[in-house]
Amino acid sequence: MAAVKCTKNEMHRLQKKLVQLKKYLPTLQLKKMLLQAEVNKAKAEIEHKKQRYKEDLLTLEPSMKLLSDPSITLLKDQLLIEKKVVIYENIAGIEVPSLKSLTFKQSSQPIQYKPFWHIDLTKQVQSAKNRAIALEISEEKKRILEEELRGVSIRVNLFEKRLIPDIEREIGVIKIFLGDQVLAAVALSKLAKEKIEKKKSKESEAKSAS
């Protein structure tokens, strides 16, 4: 670490910087708190979506044997995603994704040419795919939030444990040095005054003796 410049100008510069850091620190602390709350919310959201996705898979289990039916090829189009709309929202100053809508392709086959169970199975598979994609986007959202939280936490720790304490220490060193200089100046001034007084006293005594 570089030696501290023990001057009044340096002390004023450090005091100004300290005020700025202490003014900005609460903003960082608030952002950290908000991000932590959003990360916790994202985790709960993911757990909820995982549970709903599992429920969809369980609903599909009884229909799995139907997937071997030759007519299942008629469902292929309807299981393809035609359009996925992802929107971004601002949370604590960062953009995070959220699934707005998912559109599947329409079947090219007239409904009268399909087995009756096609409609229900199509809805079940589409629901499962919808939940899987929503879950994937929620996990990406959590990853972005956690990454930002780590960065903000590092900055908060840097402010609290290094920057602010270091500047306060440097200001303390300068104050002590300048204080010692004042005391030394006062002592020298007092010593000089005593010498002058002694000289005047001797001169006065010399005049009295003559």
User: How many angstroms separate the first and last alpha carbons of the chain?
Assistant: 66
pLDDT at 169 over 60: yes
* Helices 8-60 and 118-158, axial angle in degrees (round to 10): 160
The whole-model pTM stands at 0.76
CATH architecture of the domain 23-165 equals: Orthogonal Bundle (1.10)
Domain ranges in the chain are: 23-165
d(CA 206, CA 210): 6
- Tens digits of residue pLDDT in 71-102: 566 566 667 888 999 999 998 889 999 999 99
Per-state percent for the chain, helix, strand, coil, to nearest 5: 80, 10, 10
- Tens digits of residue pLDDT in 128-161: 899 999 999 999 999 999 999 999 999 999 999 9
Q: How far is CA 84 from CA 1, 133, 145, in A?
A: 54, 9, 22
